[in-house]
Amino acid sequence: MAKKIAKKAPAKAKGKAKAVAKSSKVKAKAKPAKKPALKVVAKAAPKAPKISTKGWGKDGKALDGVRILDFTHVQSGPTCTQLLAWFGADVIKIERPGQGDITRGQLMDVPNADSLYFTMLNHNKRSITLDSKSKQGMNVLERLVKACDVLVENFAPGALDRMGLTWERIHSWNPRMIVASVKGFGPGPYEDCKVYENVAQCAGGSASTTGFHDGIPLVTGAQIGDSGTGLHLALGIVCALMQRNRTGRGQRVLCAMQDGVLNLCRVKLRDQQRLKAGPLKEYTQFGQGIPFGDAVPRAGNDSGGGQPGVILKCKGWETDPNAYIYFITQAPVWEKICDLIGEPGWKTHPDYAKPPARLPRLTEIFGRIEQWTMTKSKFEVMNECNALDIPVGPILSMKEIAEEPSLRETGTVVEVDHPTRGKYLSVGNPIKLSDSITEVKRSPLLGEHTDEILSKVLKFTPREIAEIKASGATGEAPKAQAAE
Which of residues 14, 96, 336, 418 is near ligand COA by CB under 6 A?
A: 96
| Residue 163 makes contact with ligand COA by CB under 6 A | yes
Residues 287-316 that bind ligand COA (CB under 6 A): none
| Residue 59 falls in the annotated catalytic set | no
| Residue 89 makes contact with ligand COA by CB under 6 A | no
**Total count of residues recorded for the chain:** 484
Question: In sequence order, which residues have a C-beta less than 8 Å from that of residue 335 and are 6 or more positions away?
Answer: 347
Binding track, positions 26-65, relative to ligand COA; x by CB under 6 A? ----------------------------------------
Question: In sequence order, which residues have a C-beta less than 8 Å from that of residue 327 and are 6 or more positions away?
Answer: 309, 310, 311, 312, 366, 369, 373, 381, 385, 390, 392
Segment contacting ligand COA (CB under 6 A): 52-60, 74-82, 260-268, 342-350? 74-82
| Residue 70 makes contact with ligand COA by CB under 6 A | no
Given the complex with ligand COA, which of 155 and 352 has the nearer CB atom?
155
Binding track, positions 177-196, relative to ligand COA; x by CB under 6 A? -----xxx---------xxx
Which residue out of 70, 90, 149, 226 is catalytically annotated?
A: 226
Task: Round to whole Å and give the CA distance between 223 and 234.
Answer: 16
Nearest approach in angstroms of CB 420 to ligand COA is 22
Given the complex with ligand COA, which of 335 and 476 has the nearer CB atom?
476
Nearest approach in angstroms of CB 140 to ligand COA is 10
Nearest approach in angstroms of CB 197 to ligand COA is 6
Q: Which of 443, 431, 436, 446 lies closest to 230 in space, CA to CA?
A: 431
| Residue 198 makes contact with ligand COA by CB under 6 A | no
Task: Round to whole Å and give the CA distance between 5 and 18.
Answer: 14
| Residue 161 makes contact with ligand COA by CB under 6 A | no
Question: In sequence order, which residues have a C-beta less than 8 Å from that of residue 115 and are 6 or more positions away?
Answer: 103, 104, 105, 106, 107, 108, 109
Given the complex with ligand COA, which of 5 and 182 has the nearer CB atom?
182
Residues 208-267 that bind ligand COA (CB under 6 A): 226
Question: In sequence order, which residues have a C-beta less than 8 Å from that of residue 279 and are 6 or more positions away?
Answer: 286, 291, 292
Size, binding site for ligand COA by CB under 6 A:
23
Nearest approach in angstroms of CB 186 to ligand COA is 12
How far CA 88 is from CA of 75, 94, 182, 467, in Å, comes to 20, 18, 22, 32
How far CA 451 is from CA of 81, 89, 112, 118, 145, in Å, comes to 21, 20, 23, 22, 17
Question: In sequence order, which residues have a C-beta less than 8 Å from that of residue 243 and are 6 or more positions away?
Answer: 251
Binding track, positions 126-145, relative to ligand COA; x by CB under 6 A? ----xxxx------------
Nearest approach in angstroms of CB 291 to ligand COA is 38
154 touches 237 (CB < 8 A)? no
Nearest approach in angstroms of CB 309 to ligand COA is 31
Q: Is 434 helix (H, G, I), strand (E, B) or coil?
A: coil
Residues 412-471 that bind ligand COA (CB under 6 A): none
| Residue 74 makes contact with ligand COA by CB under 6 A | yes
| Residue 280 makes contact with ligand COA by CB under 6 A | no
DSSP output for 285-337:
HHHTTPPP-SSPPP-TT--SSSS-EEEEE-TTTTT-TT-EEEEE--GGGHHHH
Nearest approach in angstroms of CB 110 to ligand COA is 22
Q: Is 194 helix (H, G, I), strand (E, B) or coil?
A: coil
CA-based Rg of the chain, rounded to a whole angstrom?
A: 28
| Residue 156 makes contact with ligand COA by CB under 6 A | yes
Task: Count H helices and E strands in the chain, helices first.
Answer: 23, 11
Residues in a beta bridge with 394: 325
Residue positions annotated with a catalytic role: 226
Interaction site with ligand COA (CB under 6 A): 74-77, 94, 96, 130-133, 154-156, 159, 162-163, 182-184, 194-196, 226
